[in-house]
Structure 1
C-alpha cells in the first residue's frame, strides 16, 4: 500500500526507519496489532519501511465479539501491506488482577508466534510517561522508574519519542477508523486513570511538558542504571563464590552496587516478586550485621519458604527446611 505523504505518517515512518537501522537491519519484523490507533499506525509505518512484516493479533476473548474485532484487525494489516497476519486467541486466567493477567497472556502468545523476529509494540511517549509514574508510585528505587526500553529483545518500541496524538493523526491521514477498546476508557484500571485524570491534571498544574519530562527522566535513569549494572557485575564477580556471597567483600561496595549484586543473585536463586523492603533486609545482612536471623523472600514451594541467612561471613539462599544453623 502506497502511503500518502502526510506529516504524521512521515514522522512515524522515520521513527520505524531509525529503529530498524539500529536494531534489525535485515528488515524482518513482527507487529503486535490490537486494532487501536497506536498499533494500526505502527503496522502501516512498518509495512512501508520494513522488508517483511508479520502482524500478530491477540484475541483476549474478554468481550463479546472479540474474535470479529481481531479478524478485522488482521484483514486491515494485510490491506496495509503486511506479508501476513495471524490471530492468536488466549485465555486470561492468571493472578495479579485482570490487567496483569491479560498482559502476561498477550506477551506469552506473541513470544510463541514471533519465530525469530522481534515484535514491534505501539507504545508511545505518553505510555512511557504513564509507566514512569506507575514505577514512581511503587517506591522501589531507580530501576522501577526506568520506563520501557526502545529494544529489549524480543520487544521493540519505535514510538517512544512519539506522542499519542501523532498516531491518531496518522490514522486520520490514512482514513482508518481504529477500534476503541472499552477497557481503555474504564476507570477500573489504574493506567486509564493516569491517562485520563492524573497526567492531564499534572499538565495543567505544572504548565505542560510533563509527559516528555517523565519520559526523559526514565531514559536518563536507565542510562545511569546501565553504568551501575556494569560496576555491579564487576563487584559480583569478586563477591559471589560458589553461589555464596562473601559479605565482607560485598560490604566494601556502595549501597546501590551492593543491592544490584544481591538482586541478581536472588533472582538467579529463584526469588519472585522481589521488593525494595526484602532487598534492603537482605542488604542489612551484609552492611548492618547484628546477628539477625534469616530473611524470607518471595519464592520457594508451598511447603518451604525461600530464605537468606548469614553464616561465617557468607550469605546463602535456600529453602528453610534445608538451612544449616
Structure 2
C-alpha cells in the first residue's frame, strides 16, 4: 500500500510560517521540494476567513544561469506556479561569481539570497519561504560534523532566520515528490544534485545511502533530531553570551576599536567565552569568525606568550594589552580603519 500523501502536515507547517495579512514569497527552483512548498502555500493564498485572511502568497523563481536550459526551466516553473494560483510570480536572475574563493555551491547560495532580497524589496514581501527538507537537514549536520565547527554548525539549517522561513524541515524528499505527483506537477531534476564534484552531492548520492543501508534506515530522522537538540543548546548559549557581552565591553574609542575586560572574559566557560568574542568581532564590523580563528583568540586571551595580533575575517586584528600600559588586562579588537 502506498504511503499517504502528507498534504495536511505540509499545509499546517506552511501556515505556521506565513506572515498573516502580508505578501509571502515561495523561493522556487522548479525542483520537487520547492514546487511542493508552493502547492502547500497555495492552499493559504487569499483566504477570506481564519488566521490567514488577507494573506497573499507569490513566488520568486531564481535563475542562476548555470544550466543551458535555465530559461526553459524557469518558464516551466512560472507556468506551474501560476497554475497553482500564486500571485505575483517573478523570475529574478542570480549573480553567481563562479570564480569566487568560497566555491560554486556557496557562490550560488550568495547569489540566490541576493535575488530573494531584491524580490522582497521590489514586491513589498514580508517573508520568503524556502523548501529545505529533512534530507537537506541531515546532509547539513553531516557537513557540520565533517568540518568540526561546533554546536551551531550541528544545529543545521534554522527553521527561521530574519525574513526567511523553512517550513518543510519535518518532511522528507520523498514526501515532496508525492505532493507534486498528487497535484500533477512536473519537477526538474538538477544534474548538479548528483554531480560528484560537489560535496553535498556526494553526501546525497553516496554517503547517505551507505548510512541508511549499513547504519540505520532512519538515519535522516536521527540527524534531524540531533540538529533540533543542538539548535536549542546553541540558542541558550548564545542568549547567555549576549547577556554577559555588554558587561565586559568598554565604550569604544573614536577609532572604533573595541576592548573586552580579560578578567571577566577568562571567568566564563569556554562555550560562552568563544561566543562573546564572536559577538565582539561582529560588533567591530567583521563577519562571524570561524571556529579555528576563535580558538586562536581564546589562546591569546588565556595568556599565551604572544600578545597578538590574531587576524580575523574582515581584516580585524585582536591584541592583548601589554603589561605596564593602560591597555593591560584588556582584549583589543581593531578594525582595519583603525590601523
Bigger Cα displacement from structure 2, 270-279 vs 107-116: 270-279
User: Could you give the per-residue CA deviations for residues 141-184 of structure 1, whole angstroms, max 9, x where no partner exists?
Assistant: 11111111111121111100011100001111112210111212
SS in 2 for 1:299: helix
Map 1:192-203 → 2, pairs under 5 A: 192-203=201-212
Q: Quick one: which of 105, 113, 120 aligns to 2:119?
A: 113
SS in 2 for 1:31: strand
Q: TM-score, normalised on structure 2? A: 0.86
Residues 21, 56 of structure 2: 8 Å contact kept: no
SS in 2 for 1:53: strand
1:308 aligned residue: 318
2:147 paired with 1:138: yes
Q: How far, CA to CA, are the matches of 1:89 and 1:198 in structure 2?
A: 32
Q: How far, CA to CA, are the matches of 2:36 and 2:282 in structure 1?
A: 37
- What's the CA shift for 1:229? 1.1
Structure 2 gaps of 5+ residues are 46-54, 252-257, 322-327
SS in 2 for 1:46: helix
1:181 aligned residue: 190
2:313 aligned residue: 298
1:69 aligned residue: 73
Q: How far, CA to CA, are the matches of 2:249 and 2:39 in structure 1?
A: 49
SS in 2 for 1:16: helix
Residues 235, 253 of structure 1: 8 Å contact kept: no
Report the count of equivalent residues. Answer: 310
2:57 aligned residue: 53
User: Could you give the per-residue CA deviations for residues 194-250 of structure 1, whole angstroms, max 9, x where no partner exists?
Assistant: 111111111111122111111111111111111111211122121111231001111
- What's the CA shift for 1:316? 1.0
Residues 44, 57 of structure 2: 8 Å contact kept: no
- What's the CA shift for 1:273? 6.6
Are the structure 2 counterparts of residues 225 and 181 from structure 1 closer, same or farther at C-alpha, using a change threshold of 3 Å? Answer: same
Q: How far, CA to CA, are the matches of 1:194 and 1:14 in structure 2?
A: 30
2:90 paired with 1:86: yes
Q: How far, CA to CA, are the matches of 2:216 and 2:154 in structure 1?
A: 22
Runs of 4+, deviation exceeding 4 Å = 319-323
SS in 2 for 1:253: coil
Residues 22, 56 of structure 2: 8 Å contact kept: yes
Q: How far, CA to CA, are the matches of 2:42 and 2:336 in structure 1?
A: 54
Structure 1 gaps of 5+ residues are 1-5, 301-305
Are the structure 2 counterparts of residues 288 and 78 from structure 1 closer, same or farther at C-alpha, using a change threshold of 3 Å? Answer: same
RMSD: 1.8
2:49 aligned residue: none
Are the structure 2 counterparts of residues 194 and 269 from structure 1 closer, same or farther at C-alpha, using a change threshold of 3 Å? Answer: same
Q: TM-score, normalised on structure 1? A: 0.90
Q: How far, CA to CA, are the matches of 1:187 and 1:130 in structure 2?
A: 15
